Chain A
Amino acid sequence: DIQMTQSPSTLSASVGDRVTITCRASQSIGDSLAWYQQKPGKAPKLLIYQASSLQSGVPSTFSGSGSGTEFSLTISSLQPDDFATYYCQQYISYSPTFGQGTKLEIK
């Protein structure tokens, strides 16, 4: 299986900050990467697909980049609603795998 490793595991930031979360794949996955946001007790929500394409309805403060094995999710200006846990997912293989998650906390 392809392993996905996110960093950091926890990130403390303030409203208005610019933050970046990194996701690394154990082998090249091209641009077959998605990002999700999950809030406590809720289902994950798709934010980004194909590494950098913004899902319909997602604010433009979210952006994704990368290819191969290194990817990032950037939030350009944190809003109160953005404090949540974020997961990356590779979908190039028959067995899709998720990163372990990055919890974004209010500083």
Chain B
Amino acid sequence: EVQLLESGGGLAQPGGSLRLSCAASGFTLNTFAMAWVRQAPGQGLEWVSRISATSEIAYYADSVRGRFTISKDNSKNTVYLQMSSLRGEDTAVYYCAKGVVAGTRNYFDYWGQGALVTVSS
């Protein structure tokens, strides 16, 4: 059974940093692309970043490029989202999502339960 379990959410100050983790089980990360999607309170879904199965390619939304970094550790079957220079508008529930293929054109067949990130002083 495929499962994705996020951790690392919490309260951060503006300008601060936070690292989210997504532990995957039921499949191996080196087979599928993975993504982070966020949802601000009461708002819709916003794709944040994704990484290819081989970790060779990473893409970012304009809103986070240069501040967030996606990575993964295949030996731990875990995906990470390092978030820096956090802003109030980064406040959201962050979902880890599994792509259906290894490369670029992906929709997402499994999602984690979400990790709440609150940026506030």
Scan residues 38-60 of chain B and give those whose CB is less than 8 A from a CB of chain A.
Answer: 44-47, 50, 59
Question: Does A100 contact B107, Cβ atoms closer than 8 Å?
Answer: no
Given the known interface contacts A94-B59, A95-B61, the answer about A46 and B47 at a Cβ–Cβ threshold of 8 Å is no
- The range of chain B's interface size is 20 to 34
Which chain B residues lie closer than 8 Å to A94 at the CB level? 59, 104
Kindly specify which of B11-19, B70-78, B109-117 makes contact with the partner chain.
Answer: B109-117
Contact of B44 among A1, A45, A55, A99 (CB under 8 A): A99
Bound CA–CA A36/B108 (angstroms): 9
Interface residues of A (CB under 8 A from B): 1, 32, 34, 36, 38, 43-46, 49, 55, 87, 89, 91-92, 94-101
Smallest CB-CB A-B distances: 7 pairs: A34-B107, A43-B111, A98-B45, A101-B44, A96-B47, A91-B107, A100-B44
